[in-house]
């Protein structure tokens, strides 16, 4: 794997400017500059992408197939110029004032947003969000009627987005490890009884996108979650993570999921868990996650996951077991009303709907690729990428749920990141829709931070479904 310290050395050796590397990789010039200056360190998945991009560019330069000094074709200039960052909610709303989306799914997301923004009364169920990210889980739980009064999140960029959308929520801390026992007691005095704690500790240590290193310190952040739950004593908590966490073992060979369950049981909680797929709950995306729900034993209630409401394809056995389900929502359901964009084009009205300018040779590879297929499958060897897998440079399918939205959804060389028919990677608006963020939800900051926030988020529609069941089964009290 390429070490991030070598990025500049290779770039300079082959006279690849930061601007060109930005165009080829999809990372912003500011990100690349920060890495080279040592101000920031790219994640493993980002290094993998840079490694693949640089290998490909260097190979094509050496073969004489790529002239990096050649100017790219410019567009007509009629598109509305969009900023490199979105600084505030006010700026976002001014930019997006002409948006007028009207498909059924977008309207449902708008209703979710309005429900979440409804003022909560003093008797509302109160909760706290740990590892809150930009607020995907919070949006879903707020839409169900739960008042998340405080949150903890270490990423400053995610906190900016969270603050724009949930200004009444108090930032209780950034580094969860730095929260003291005195802080926890202060929370109890300030908020009174907290009914629910929600959150998803970082998943990179468990994900296939990472190294799956048992000694990765991020794998142990669940201990901080346990510590806070044991001090606050909510009636219920919700923990979300990648499905692969269920198979990850520590350095002693013990399953992490078993360690987590034992830790909470010692604190007086009973746990239920299920691997769910987001499309089963009305999200137009195939996204497997494990959901753990803990209920305090002394309240004498238990939680059961309801049967999924949506299915990709019904079998007679499924119908007998679960009953008739709705068809899963698809890429088309989520994005068909959005303007069609080709390489480098921008929407005139939506500040989040614009296409990255990809290298011309990559566009040539993908022009002939049909839905659901990869450029690695092209009959002509000259139109196949020199490296990678058949899940990369691959198109999504209009009438199926989108593939998992990761933080690298804008990388055309990533896993299933290509639009079904337009020859480009996914736009920020498409990814936000597919993650079930309403168009009204405010994203601010630089584009890289926004992409990371979206890719790391819990889909709000999934969160709302879980919250509604918890309220019905655990937190609802008859008057």
- Mean pLDDT (the chain, rounded): 85
Contact 275, 308 (CB under 8 A): no
Alpha-carbon dihedral 263, 267, 272, 274, rounded to 10 degrees = -40
More confident residue, 205 or 430: 430
Compute the average pLDDT of residues 282-292.
96
Q: Measured in Å, how far apart are the chain's first and last C-alpha atoms?
A: 61
Residues 187 and 235 in one domain: yes
- The token pair at 194 is 């907290």
Structure tokens at 393: 């440079």
Indicate if 26 and 113 belong to the same structural domain. Answer: no
The pLDDT of residue 72 = 38
Q: Is 203 a catalytic residue?
A: yes
Span 178-189, average pLDDT: 96
Measured CA to CA, the distance from residue 55 to residue 62 in angstroms comes to 11
Highest mean pLDDT among 205-209, 323-327, 400-404: 400-404
What pLDDT sits at residue 222? 87
- Separation of alpha carbons 266 and 134, rounded Å: 31
Q: What is the pLDDT of residues 109-128, one digit of tens each?
A: 999 999 999 999 989 999 99
Please report which confidence band the pLDDT of residue 30 belongs to, taking 50, 70 and 90 as the band edges: confident
How many domains does one find in the chain?
2
Please indicate, yes or no, if residue 95 is contained in any of the structural domains: yes
Above 80 in pLDDT, residue 84?
Answer: no
Burial (Cβ within 10 Å: 0-12, 13-18, ≥19) of residue 247: exposed
Domain shared by 152 and 24, yes or no: no
Instruction: Examine the pLDDT at 66 and tell me if it is beyond 50.
Output: yes
Q: Tell whether 450 is covered by a domain.
A: no
One domain for residues 29 and 108 = no
Rg (CA), the chain: 23
Share of the chain above pLDDT 70, in %: 83
What are the tokens at 336? 């068909």
Angle between the N-to-C axes of helices 156-165 and 447-456, in degrees from 0 to 180, rounded to the nearest 10? 80
pLDDT of residue 208: 44
Question: Within this chain, do residues 33 and 173 fall inside the same structural domain, yes or no?
Answer: no
- Does residue 321 register a pLDDT over 80? no
Q: Tell me, what's the pLDDT at 50?
A: 77
Q: Does residue 478 carry a pLDDT above 70?
A: no
251 and 120 in one domain? yes
Residue 446 domain-assigned? no
53 vs 417, more confident:
417
The two structure tokens encoding residue 99: 């948006």
Within-domain flag for 287: yes
Q: Which range marks the domain in which residue 20 is found?
A: 1-72
Q: Tell me, what's the pLDDT at 74?
A: 37
Distant-in-sequence, close-in-space partners of 113: CB < 8 Å, separation ≥ 6 = 139, 143, 438, 440, 441
Write down the pLDDT at residue 212.
43
- Report if residue 191 sits inside a domain: yes
Domain C-terminal end among 22, 42, 72: 72
Average pLDDT over residues 274-282: 96
pLDDT at residue 387 in the model: 85
Residue 21 resides in a domain: yes
Are residues 47 and 107 located together in one domain of the fold?
no
90-104, 170-184, 200-214: segment of lowest average pLDDT? 200-214
Q: What SS3 state is found at 354?
A: strand
At a CB cut-off of 8 Å and minimum separation 6, what does 211 contact?
Answer: 44
Q: Are 96 and 231 found together in one domain?
A: yes
Residue 41 maps to which CATH number? 1.10.260.40
| More confident call, 308 vs 439 | 439
Q: 118 and 46 share a domain?
A: no
Q: Which has the higher per-residue pLDDT, 378 or 316? A: 378
- Give, in order, the Cα–Cα distances in Å from 238 to each of 20, 159, 195, 196: 43, 20, 11, 8
Would you call 409 exposed, middle or buried from its count of C-beta atoms within 10 A (0-12, 13-18, 19+)? buried
Same domain, residue pair 125 and 38? no
Q: Given 45, 72, 99, which residue is the final one in a domain?
A: 72
CATH number for the domain harbouring residue 214: 3.40.50.150
Residue tagged active-site, from 134, 177, 203, 265: 203
- Specify the range with the lowest mean pLDDT, choosing from 29-33, 67-71, 94-98, 375-379: 67-71
- 114 and 216 together in one domain: yes
pLDDT at 7: 73
Q: Who's near 459: CB < 8 A, 6+ residues apart?
A: 136, 140, 278, 281, 283, 285, 287, 435, 436
User: Is 104 in a helix, a strand, or coil?
Assistant: helix
CA distances from 118 to 88, 115, 381, 464 (A): 21, 5, 56, 15
Distances (CA, A) of 157 to 86, 154, 443: 12, 9, 10
Check whether 145 has a pLDDT greater than 90: yes
pLDDT at 27: 76
The pLDDT score that the predictor gives to residue 437 is 98
Is residue 167 domain-shared with residue 58, that is, in the same domain?
no
Is residue 383 assigned to a domain?
no
- Residue 336 within a domain: no
């Amino acid at each position: 794997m390429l070490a991030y310290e070598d990025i500049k050395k290779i770039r300079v050796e082959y006279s690849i400017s930061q601007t060109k590397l930005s165009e080829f990789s999809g990372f912003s010039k500011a990100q690349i500059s920060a890495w080279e200056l040592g101000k920031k360190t790219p994640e493993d998945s980002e290094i993998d992408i840079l490694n693949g991009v640089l290998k490909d560019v260097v190979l094509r330069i050496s073969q004489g197939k790529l002239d990096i000094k050649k100017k790219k074709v410019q567009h007509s200039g009629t598109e509305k110029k969009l900023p490199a960052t979105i600084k505030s909610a006010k700026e976002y709303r001014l930019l997006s004032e002409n948006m007028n989306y009207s498909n059924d799914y977008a309207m449902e997301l708008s209703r979710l947003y309005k429900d979440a923004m409804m003022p909560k009364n003093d008797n509302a169920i109160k909760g706290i969000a740990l590892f809150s990210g930009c607020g995907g889980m919070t949006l879903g739980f707020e839409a169900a009627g739960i008042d998340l009064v405080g949150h903890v999140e270490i990423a400053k960029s995610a906190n900016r987005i969270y603050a724009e959308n949930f200004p009444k929520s108090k930032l209780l801390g950034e580094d969860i490890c730095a929260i003291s026992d005195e802080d926890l007691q202060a929370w109890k005095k300030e908020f009174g009884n907290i009914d629910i704690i929600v959150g998803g500790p970082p998943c990179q240590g468990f994900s296939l996108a990472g190294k799956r290193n048992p000694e990765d310190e991020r794998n142990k952040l669940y201990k901080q979650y346990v510590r806070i739950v044991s001090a606050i004593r909510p009636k219920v908590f919700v923990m979300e993570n990648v499905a692969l966490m269920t198979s990850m073992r520590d350095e002693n060979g013990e399953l992490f999921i078993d360690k987590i369950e034992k830790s909470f049981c010692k604190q007086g909680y009973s746990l239920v868990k299920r691997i769910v797929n987001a499309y089963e709950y009305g999200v137009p995306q195939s996204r497997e996650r494990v959901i753990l729900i803990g209920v305090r034993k002394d309240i004498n209630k238990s939680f059961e996951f309801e049967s999924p409401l949506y299915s990709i394809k019904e079998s007679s056995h499924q119908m007998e077991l679960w009953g008739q389900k709705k068809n899963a929502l698809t890429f088309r359901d989520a994005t068909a009303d959005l303007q069609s964009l080709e390489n480098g084009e921008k929407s005139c009205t939506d500040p989040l709907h614009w296409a990255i300018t990809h290298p011309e040779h990559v566009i040539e590879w993908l022009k002939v690729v049909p839905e659901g297929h990869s450029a690695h499958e092209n009959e002509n060897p000259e139109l196949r990428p020199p490296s990678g897998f058949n899940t990369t440079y691959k198109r999504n399918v209009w009438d199926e749920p989108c593939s998992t939205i990761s933080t690298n959804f804008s990388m055309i060389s990533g896993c299933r990141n290509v639009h079904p028919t337009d020859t480009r990677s996914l736009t920020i608006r498409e990814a936000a829709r597919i993650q079930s963020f309403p168009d009204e939800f405010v994203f601010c900051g630089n584009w890289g931070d926004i992409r990371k926030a979206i890719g790391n988020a819990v889909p709000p529609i999934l969160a709302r479904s879980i919250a509604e069941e918890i309220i019905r089964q655990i937190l609802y009290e008859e008057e």
